[in-house]
Chains A and B, each alone.
Chain A
Amino acid sequence: MRRLLVHQPPTVNCLWRETTMAALRTRVGCLLQGFFSSSKIPRSSFDIRFDGCVTQVRFKGGPATPRFRHPVWHVRKERAHYPENLTAENKEFIRETISQDFGPPIVAHGVKTYDSPLKNIEKIEPVQWFPGIRRTSTIAKKIGIQPLWLNDGTRVMTTLLQIVDNHVIKYNPPDQVIPLRRRHKVIPKKVLGKFGALIVGAESADPQEFTKNYCGLFRESGLPPKRKLARFLISPEAVLPSGTPLNAMHYRVGDYIDATGFTIQRGFQGVMKRWGFKGQPATHGQTKTHRRPGSIGGGAGHRVWPGKKMPGHMGGRHRTLRALKILRINTEYNVLYVTGQNIPGQINSYIYVHDSLSHHRWVKDAKDAWPLPTYIPTETEVPENLYASDVHPFDAPSITYEIVDTPVVRTGAKIAKAKGSKK
């Protein structure tokens, strides 16, 4: 069915071949280059949570230095934008073809997308929760920071994460999953073959922006190409059919999430900014030594130990901030208001939002479980703003404190006296 929808206009394809020039022809013709076939996938840094390890492990090696990384997906995404000198008719024709395949361009939930004909293709059935089940994560955009106030008047800074037009693109069962590239090349056995990989894409875009190989990745699902792709490891029970949209209702207010992103690039930085060293005095005979690290070792070792904190490149690392509480959800624009103003990444950059893996924030009972495998829309309308129980909504009246009459506390002596008098 889906396949039909994509291939449907054979006449258009013929027309295409006949009419337009070579550049055009090569672009829209979709190729499936065995993208998700297991043998050819390179190990990528996007298999974010392969190991369930949460505790920080320190070892001699220290943090890896940022180095050149291969493209995350093995197909090339960006194409060269050479001048094509298209006529107005040709441009119109391309627009028509795109809207025939993916629907007319619209703005939904504050995001530019296509009104895709793939809507609710397969019905999702709710899944029973069991300990250790892992459902899919989502791709969000960090759109800004603002304060919220709690009912007791406390001010909390929150980060706004907008879940931008997420769709499931493909599922790889556990036996086809190749784990992420690891530094020590040791893959924990307990996770091998346990999780499948769900490929999720965010923000539909014009296929003309990408190479034909990249567009081919989306052919099977019948979706327009996505700006951002990510592979999330999930339990096979929580699998979702391709084409399923994911929105902010995937989460609930009061839940805890982990947010992963690339930290802001700071460039080559000194030891004070990079590691928070104290520096050295401004005066008292200091000569050219104010922001320097000082001694870096000595004694019996006569060497510099690996992992020594020194100046170097700062930022641009893959980092996760854990156990952030969702204080509010805007269901119209799919925005999560999440505690903390230090979520890695610049504003308008992509963030991966996972269910929290912190031990004390983990769901431990079926009655506390999040919607599984995802939120299934019902006929009842969801309010635009959902607040956690301790958050003060902006349309509520001002906070006032009750005057409580504190009872007069009797001192020890008086109590003793009273007791004595009774006797």
Chain B
Amino acid sequence: MAFYVSRLSLGLELRRLGCKTMRCSGVDCRSSSSTSTTLAPRSLADDGKTDKLGRREKKNLMMSESVDKPDLNLRFKYPEMFPEPFMIWRNPVKEKLERKDMLARRNCISIPEFYVGSVLRVNLSNIHQPDKVSSFVGICIERKETGLRASITLRNVIDNLGVEIKLELYDPRLLKIEVLRLERRLDPHLRYLRDAPPEYSTFPLDMKPDINRSDEVPLNRIKVKLNPRPWTENWHKIEYKGIDESIDDLITNKWKARRELLRKPWEKYDLMKTYRATLPEEEMEEILTEIKDDVEEHDRKHSRRQS
């Protein structure tokens, strides 16, 4: 999952380099309108930096090239379907079997589209509760691992106490996942909310779903002001887009100098690094064509059930 998220952020730079990887085409795909009205995922909001003319050209090119190719946007919707691109751990038979199991589980419950930054309500069978069901509302601050091990972390502040739960998406004790607010954030994870004031991660437990039914998933550009040190992690070392610039007032001059030393601005041009951390586009398409029919059927089934 970590690789996958890095893929999102690296997309723009790679496109500039003309490198043919998944990110590159992914960025182009975001702007292309979805083919079917209801079933295809809403395209992700672009960062507003891409050249409009170039985008339009690419779109036409793609449409003329491939009619049968699956919509590559789907990969944002089902990130755990794609294996970690670490060659030593990969085996095609295992991945196929795992995907089969995941689709079988998705047939039983609806695992909706959500991103890091979305607010979710989950219901979970819990033998220790009096009514045997526990429910939780929180913001998704992390989405980790792939395959059947895929997990999310939800965070909320209850009675002035930060509470986090880690859930496995394919755990059969999971009864329901409901998206209360569908949006994205600027960073691949929001662990820094642990060191931010509670208002950034406080959500009422009886929150009602507030979803804007448009084609695009809104991008929340909120900048989080952190508490003064000590922190759980060294947030100043990596440039998080979602952390406010006031972080500079919270660190010493020595830390600032150290941060400058640790920066690796050349990494975004390291093609080999990107290559190792990504799945080839053909493989992505293969997986998508494999899961597409099942996934569409599940969507149809669960949407009918909800309505």
Q: Which residues of A contact B (CB under 8 A)?
A: 110, 143-144, 146-147, 149, 153, 155, 160, 162, 330, 333, 335, 346-348, 392-403
Contacts of A347 in B (CB 8 A): 88-91
B:76-120 near A, CB below 8 Å: 88-98, 101-102, 104-105, 107-109
Contacts of A147 in B (CB 8 A): 148-149, 168, 170
Contacts of B109 in A (CB 8 A): 398
In the complex, what distance in Å separates the CA atom of A295 from the CA atom of B147? 47
User: Would B148 and A143 count as touching, CB distance under 8 A?
Assistant: no
User: Would B125 and A397 count as touching, CB distance under 8 A?
Assistant: no
Question: Given A160-B94, A346-B88, A347-B91, does the pair A400, B104 have CB atoms closer than 8 Å?
Answer: no
User: Would B101 and A143 count as touching, CB distance under 8 A?
Assistant: no
Contacts of A393 in B (CB 8 A): 104
B:141-194 near A, CB below 8 Å: 147-149, 168, 170-175
User: Would B97 and A160 count as touching, CB distance under 8 A?
Assistant: yes
In the complex, B127 has a CB within 8 A of chain A = yes
Q: How far is the CB of B83 from the nearest CB of chain A, in Å?
A: 10
In the complex, what distance in Å separates the CA atom of A146 from the CA atom of B170? 11
User: Would A396 and B93 count as touching, CB distance under 8 A?
Assistant: no
Name the contact of A146 in the complex, choosing from B92, B96, B149 (C-beta under 8 A): B149
Q: How far is the CB of B170 from the nearest CB of chain A, in Å?
A: 7
User: Would B108 and A397 count as touching, CB distance under 8 A?
Assistant: yes
In the complex, B131 has a CB within 8 A of chain A = yes
Contacts of A396 in B (CB 8 A): 108, 172
Q: How far is the CB of B105 from the nearest CB of chain A, in Å?
A: 5
User: Would B171 and A155 count as touching, CB distance under 8 A?
Assistant: yes
In the complex, what distance in Å separates the CA atom of A147 from the CA atom of B170? 9
User: Would B172 and A399 count as touching, CB distance under 8 A?
Assistant: yes
Contacts of A333 in B (CB 8 A): 93, 97
In the complex, what distance in Å separates the CA atom of A149 from the CA atom of B109? 16
Contacts of A394 in B (CB 8 A): 101-102, 104-105, 108, 170, 172
Given contacts A155-B171, A400-B175, 8 further A-B pairs with CB under 8 A are A144-B94, A146-B101, A147-B149, A160-B94, A394-B101, A398-B173, A399-B125, A403-B130
In the complex, B52 has a CB within 8 A of chain A = no
User: Would A146 and B93 count as touching, CB distance under 8 A?
Assistant: no
Question: Given A155-B168, A155-B171, A162-B93, does the pair A146, B107 have CB atoms closer than 8 Å?
Answer: no
Question: Given A153-B125, A162-B93, A403-B131, does the pair A395, B175 have CB atoms closer than 8 Å?
Answer: no
Q: List 18 A-B contacts (CB under 8 A).
A: A144-B89, A147-B148, A147-B170, A149-B171, A153-B127, A153-B171, A160-B94, A330-B97, A346-B88, A394-B105, A394-B172, A396-B108, A398-B109, A398-B173, A398-B174, A399-B172, A402-B132, A403-B130
Contacts of B148 in A (CB 8 A): 146-147
In the complex, what distance in Å separates the CA atom of A403 from the CA atom of B133? 10
User: Would B88 and A144 count as touching, CB distance under 8 A?
Assistant: no
User: Would A401 and B125 count as touching, CB distance under 8 A?
Assistant: yes
In the complex, what distance in Å separates the CA atom of A100 from the CA atom of B90? 34
In the complex, what distance in Å separates the CA atom of A160 from the CA atom of B147? 14
Contacts of A401 in B (CB 8 A): 125-127, 132
Contacts of A402 in B (CB 8 A): 132
In the complex, what distance in Å separates the CA atom of A110 from the CA atom of B96? 10
Contacts of B95 in A (CB 8 A): 144
User: Would B173 and A335 count as touching, CB distance under 8 A?
Assistant: no
In the complex, what distance in Å separates the CA atom of A399 from the CA atom of B93? 28
Q: How far is the CB of A270 from the nearest CB of chain B, in Å?
A: 24
**Residue on B nearest A334 in the bound complex, by CB:** B93
Question: Given A394-B170, A396-B108, does the pair A403, B94 have CB atoms closer than 8 Å?
Answer: no
**Number of A-B pairs whose CB atoms are under 8 Å?**
83
User: Would B132 and A400 count as touching, CB distance under 8 A?
Assistant: yes
Contacts of A146 in B (CB 8 A): 94, 98, 101, 147-149
Contacts of B104 in A (CB 8 A): 393-395
**Residue on B nearest A164 in the bound complex, by CB:** B93
Q: How far is the CB of B163 from the nearest CB of chain A, in Å?
A: 21
Q: How far is the CB of A172 from the nearest CB of chain B, in Å?
A: 33
User: Would B125 and A400 count as touching, CB distance under 8 A?
Assistant: yes
User: Would A144 and B91 count as touching, CB distance under 8 A?
Assistant: yes
User: Would B127 and A395 count as touching, CB distance under 8 A?
Assistant: no
In the complex, what distance in Å separates the CA atom of A386 from the CA atom of B110? 25
In the complex, what distance in Å separates the CA atom of A77 from the CA atom of B99? 37
In the complex, what distance in Å separates the CA atom of A86 from the CA atom of B104? 49
Name the contact of B125 in the complex, choosing from A110, A162, A398 (C-beta under 8 A): A398
Name the contact of A143 in the complex, choosing from B91, B132, B147, B174 (C-beta under 8 A): B91
Per-position binary interface string of chain B over residues 3-22, scored 1 when its CB falls under 8 Å from any chain A CB and 0 otherwise: 00000000000000000000
In the complex, what distance in Å separates the CA atom of A329 from the CA atom of B100? 14
Contacts of A155 in B (CB 8 A): 168, 171
**Residue on A nearest B109 in the bound complex, by CB:** A398
In the complex, what distance in Å separates the CA atom of A400 from the CA atom of B131? 11
Q: How far is the CB of B106 from the nearest CB of chain A, in Å?
A: 9
User: Would B125 and A143 count as touching, CB distance under 8 A?
Assistant: no
In the complex, what distance in Å separates the CA atom of A153 from the CA atom of B175? 12
**What 8 A-B pairs have minimum CB-CB distances, sorted nearest first?**
A144-B94, A395-B104, A401-B132, A143-B91, A394-B104, A110-B93, A143-B94, A394-B101
In the complex, what distance in Å separates the CA atom of A403 from the CA atom of B90? 43
Question: Given A143-B93, A333-B93, A347-B91, does the pair A399, B101 have CB atoms closer than 8 Å?
Answer: no
User: Would B127 and A398 count as touching, CB distance under 8 A?
Assistant: no
Contacts of B172 in A (CB 8 A): 149, 153, 392, 394, 396, 398-399
Contacts of A160 in B (CB 8 A): 94, 97
Which among A346, A397, A398, A400 has the greatest number of chain B C-beta atoms within 10 A? A398
Contacts of A346 in B (CB 8 A): 88
Contacts of B93 in A (CB 8 A): 110, 143, 162, 333, 335
In the complex, what distance in Å separates the CA atom of A402 from the CA atom of B133? 10
In the complex, what distance in Å separates the CA atom of A13 from the CA atom of B97? 43
**Residue on B nearest A152 in the bound complex, by CB:** B127
In the complex, what distance in Å separates the CA atom of A292 from the CA atom of B19? 48
**Residue on B nearest A348 in the bound complex, by CB:** B91
Contacts of A403 in B (CB 8 A): 130-132
Contacts of B98 in A (CB 8 A): 144, 146
Question: Given A143-B93, A347-B88, A347-B89, does the pair A395, B108 have CB atoms closer than 8 Å?
Answer: yes
In the complex, what distance in Å separates the CA atom of A399 from the CA atom of B132? 11
Contacts of B131 in A (CB 8 A): 403
In the complex, what distance in Å separates the CA atom of A416 from the CA atom of B277? 72
Q: How far is the CB of A274 from the nearest CB of chain B, in Å?
A: 22
